[in-house]
Chain A
Amino acid sequence: MKYDIVVVGGGPAGLAAAIEAKKNGVDNILVIERDRELGGILQQCIHNGFGLHVFKEELTGPEYAEKFITELKNMGIEYKLDTMVLEIGEERVIHAINTVDGFMRIKAGAIILSMGCRERTRGAISIPGSRPAGVFTAGTAQRFVNMEGYMVGKRVVILGSGDIGLIMARRMTLEGAKVLAVAELMPFSGGLTRNIVQCLEDYHIPLYLSHTLMEIKGKDRVEGVVIAEVDKNRKPIPGTEKHYDCDTLLLSVGLIPENEISKNAGIALDPVTSGPIVNESMETSIEGVFACGNVVHVHDLVDFVTAESKRAGKNAAKYIKKEIKADAKTAKTKPGEGIRYIVPHMVRPENVDGTLDLFMRVDNVYKDMNMVVKIDGKEIKRMKKKHLAPGEMESVKIKKEDLGFKEDAVITVQLEKEGA
């Protein structure tokens, strides 16, 4: 089998990338999806709030996905469901399997990686205690409740205040469960402010910031948990323990880009994002292999995923048409004070269309700051920010004409105190 572009993953990122590549003149495209349907994790996100940026209306996850699925089908883009990519080998040959075609070797002109992310688990954060049933990641619970039609518990404590955890606090409540508390290790929530309001405050579910889980109790099924307040060094403060009788613990303790295939293919990863190091075209360290969406860095809004993926799709098409200048002069981006990471990691101005969009997350909650962009120390942009939080992704647009620099320049973004 041979395709101009193979997209690995048929979630929102893969769909948008494939559609955009087709719109940019590449016909021979294949989308490979490991699940039974296209749409990815959006299919289990039946709450609304998707699409405010892209469609200017509030959609549910499946509705948002459906718009792209319909467009993909109308454009006649090929896709294979229930198909797993095992390996990306030399010369962009993909090894994949399914029950119909068996073992496949697929030669791709360009590859777009859009495998999404997975949830951190109990083991990853070493929660002590026994190992009973009833400990779920929020996403697994979401799949059971929203797609399979089963409840996973009646009395629930949630650890971590990531968006899926917050959404599930509301969802479990609506299904008749009692959500006793949400405990968050950090002094701020990891989720969107609107989800704190709409999913916790509206249902009187208490959020305990600077709290951690001390123990899980129960031999067969969860029988209770203990949470406690932590000090500045995130060490539990004795005497602050709260005991909860519950049968379920949901974990919403972070998402990790799913890059096992990328790693095995030899693609360079950023230790901070756990995703591939990409350039302005969303191309990875292997030529002709692009990446977009949560496989690159975890986004808070699917609208941002869509925008990023369009860029990847468009550039993969340009790559096929040999319109990308590979040896153009390159700058590196570098997170400065207050910034955890920046995507993309490298910028070749010659390949930038109109504006360069930098995406980043801050490392703490800040009020009244300036976000300052510099190239080799020279300020080119400054924006006032009333409120910044790690849970909300920030972006900066830089005009192409502002990107004039010498070879090996460094673009930094940093936070500065208002008036400093």
Chain B
Amino acid sequence: MYDVAVIGAGIIGTFITRELSKFDLKTVMIDKENDIANGTTKANSAIVHAGYDAKAGTLKGKLNAKGNAMYGKVCEELDVHFKRIGSFVIASNEEEMESVKDLYERGRKNNIPDMKILSQEEVRAMEPNLNEEIIGALYAPTAGIVSPWELAVALAENAADNGAQIKLETEVLGIEKNEEGYVIHTNNGDVKAKYVFNCAGVYAQEINEMVASRSFSIHPRRGQYNILDKSTGDLINHVIFQAPTKLGKGVLVAPTVHGNLLVGPDAEDLEDKENTSTTSDRIEFIREKSRKTTTKVPFNKTITSFAGLRAVSNVGDFIIEESKEAKGFINVAGIESPGLSAAPAIAEYAIDVLKGITGELKERKDFNPRRKPVIRFMELSDEEKSEVIKKDPRYGRIICRCENITEGEIVDAIHRNAGGRTVDGIKRRSRPGMGRCQGGFCGPRVMEILARELKMDIKDVVKDSKEAYILTEETKQNTPEEVVVETLEEIKIS
């Protein structure tokens, strides 16, 4: 019997699980996927918004600003890439300038620090590569960029280091309420818990309706993106949004924490909660839209395109509350943008909801907020590189040529708590295959290391999901006899 079960191992589930691990609670986090962060968290804009966008008084408004302020500390504790590079909302005409001013006012109500409206000259001085037609911008220096899946993995690892359990490949089939709490039926056995957090992303509605009648609905909204080669990351230095107009929100252009350039997303409401396909017309659409921000994006340096799904609710705000019909069942649902930015504050808020049910929770004395630092070989000085290889020669072997990722980093990513088990899982943790060759060279090597370290057959190594097999069978193996026969026949013919 667990005290708490968290359903969903995305950024919200992992933040809540890590927060729970600060208390004297027996916690389990379950997810149907075979890795942390395999839903919305793995495909989004990776932006930590300053918080001027949401209306004052909403949960979005309150938790975005608060969450943003919490980012520095949590990323430092968990050794996760986070850069507070600031954001622009650009305006190309007077009408857009009006909406920039509205955002500024909204930001003031949300207490966003240090915002400023920039003149055309100021914009140009700070971002020389932007479109010359831009006449001004809202500047919010507290906006940042982060690696969302890296953060989710780090949170899961730290929660596990502090005693939380993680059950992957565990799909919720049904939930039963009894006097003690809940029995969660899964394909991987029953999970019993007194309290449940529903952090199931696009599936939060289905999970809620296993214990209660419909109080909200969730539908997926797809967004498509382009990622460009690292050589393009310094085209701009801030997150650049376009001013919202009657025609929509526009697309953003932003550097990533790893120095690539990200362009996207569009927004398209779908029915299918698994449809993360990209389409050529939409990719063309975001490319065209980005020209308003800058005409200098070299799209021929695109290394990949991807699509992600936002979990959009009919409520219009985050839903973070105990179900009215199911005591101890807490929905954390409809976490669309700015969900990533608000995530640290959402977790605290969600724990407060739990405290409201249980009364004060007992804090653990031995909670360790830090995880073992990650050695990122290419970020080290020459002397440090030399030292690291002396201690562990595996850091002297480059596996990924594009990103210069060493074997040591890959082995480390496998063996940590919540470690990677798949080729993409390793890619999300230590980046082999994230570069311009997209795993063409290092893919086979990473598979070999996974098979060796996890003592599995290389044929069982998958790309990402359980069924995403890569190799089908061994090639034909000739026995020595067959070889002899063939040779004799050849002799006869000649």
Q: Which residues of A contact B (CB under 8 A)?
A: 34, 82, 84, 86, 95, 97-103, 105, 118-119, 121-124, 126, 128-134, 137, 139-140, 143-145, 148-154, 175-176, 214-215, 219-221, 247, 258, 260, 263
Contact = CB atoms under 8 A, between A and B. Distances in A.
Given A123-B302, A126-B280, A143-B444, A97 B474 contact: no
Contact of A123 (B303, B462, B465, B477): B303
Contacts of B382: 95, 103, 105
A124 B303 contact: yes
Contact of A119 (B393, B440, B448): B440
B471 A151 contact: yes
Contacts of A151: 471-475
A105 B383 CA distance: 11
Nearest to B442: A140
Nearest to B226: A126
A34 B459 CA distance: 25
A208 B378 CA distance: 44
Contacts of A143: 444
A123 B439 CA distance: 11
A221 B468 contact: yes
A289 B226 CA distance: 35
B62 interface: no
B261 to A, nearest CB: 13
Contact of A150 (B279, B396, B402, B458): B458
Contacts of B444: 140, 143-144, 148
Nearest to B394: A99
A118 B436 contact: yes
A97 B386 CA distance: 9
Contacts of B441: 118, 140
Contact of B437 (A121, A131, A176, A214): A121
Nearest to A236: B280
Contact of B443 (A82, A99, A140, A258): A140
A219 B390 contact: no
Nearest to B435: A260
A152 B471 contact: yes
Nearest to B384: A103
A133 B402 contact: no
Contacts of A98: 396-397
A148 B390 CA distance: 30
A103 B385 contact: yes
A133 B469 contact: yes
Given A128-B277, A149-B474, A150-B459, A221 B469 contact: yes
Given A103-B386, A119-B437, A128-B280, A152 B398 contact: no
B419 to A, nearest CB: 20
B303 A121 contact: yes
Contacts of B393: 99-100, 102
A123 B396 contact: no
6 contacts: A82-B397, A97-B396, A123-B305, A129-B277, A149-B477, A150-B472
Interface residues of B, number: 57
Contacts of B440: 118-119, 121, 137, 139-140
Nearest to A256: B436
Nearest to B301: A124
Interface of B: 226-227, 231, 274-280, 283, 302-306, 378, 382, 385-386, 389-390, 393-394, 396-398, 401-402, 404, 436-441, 443-444, 448, 458-459, 462-477
B472 to A, nearest CB: 5
B106 to A, nearest CB: 36
Contacts of A82: 397
Given A123-B305, A148-B444, 19 more contacts: A86-B398, A97-B398, A99-B397, A100-B396, A101-B396, A102-B389, A102-B393, A103-B389, A118-B440, A124-B302, A128-B277, A128-B305, A140-B440, A140-B441, A145-B475, A153-B472, A215-B277, A219-B274, A220-B468
Contacts of B390: 102
A137 B401 CA distance: 16
A183 B278 CA distance: 20
A148 B466 CA distance: 22
Given A118-B441, A144-B471, A148-B444, A263 B385 contact: no
A220 B468 CA distance: 4
A133 B471 CA distance: 9
Nearest to A144: B444
Contacts of A176: 476
A82 B406 CA distance: 12
A122 B401 contact: no
A143 B470 CA distance: 13
Contact of A102 (B283, B306, B386, B436): B386
A116 B471 CA distance: 26
Contacts of B448: 148
Contacts of A84: 397-398, 401, 404
- 8 residue pairs, one from A and one from B, having the closest CB atoms: A123-B304, A220-B467, A133-B463, A99-B393, A103-B386, A84-B398, A133-B468, A99-B396
Contacts of A133: 462-464, 468-470
Contacts of B378: 86
A272 to B, nearest CB: 13
A121 B227 CA distance: 13
Nearest to A145: B475
Contact of A97 (B389, B472, B473): B389
B404 A129 contact: no
Given A97-B389, A148-B444, A260 B475 contact: no
Nearest to B377: A97
B398 A34 contact: yes
A226 to B, nearest CB: 12
B231 A263 contact: yes
B433 to A, nearest CB: 10
A130 B389 CA distance: 39
B33 to A, nearest CB: 11
B141 to A, nearest CB: 31
B468 A132 contact: yes
Contact of B438 (A121, A129, A220): A121
A266 B469 CA distance: 41
Most buried by B among A214, A215, A260: A260
Contacts of B389: 97, 99, 102-103
Contacts of A130: 275-277
Contacts of A105: 382
Contacts of A119: 437, 440
Contacts of B304: 121-123
B459 A131 contact: no
A123 B306 CA distance: 9
B396 A260 contact: no
Contacts of A137: 440
B91 to A, nearest CB: 30
B305 A126 contact: yes
Given A84-B398, A260-B402, A150 B474 contact: yes
B277 to A, nearest CB: 4
B400 to A, nearest CB: 10
A219 B466 CA distance: 11
A126 B301 CA distance: 10
B384 to A, nearest CB: 9
A131 B472 contact: no
A34 B439 CA distance: 16
Nearest to B441: A118
Contacts of A103: 382, 385-386, 389, 396
Contacts of B474: 149-151
B303 A219 contact: no
A101 B396 CA distance: 9
A103 B438 CA distance: 26
A128 to B, nearest CB: 5
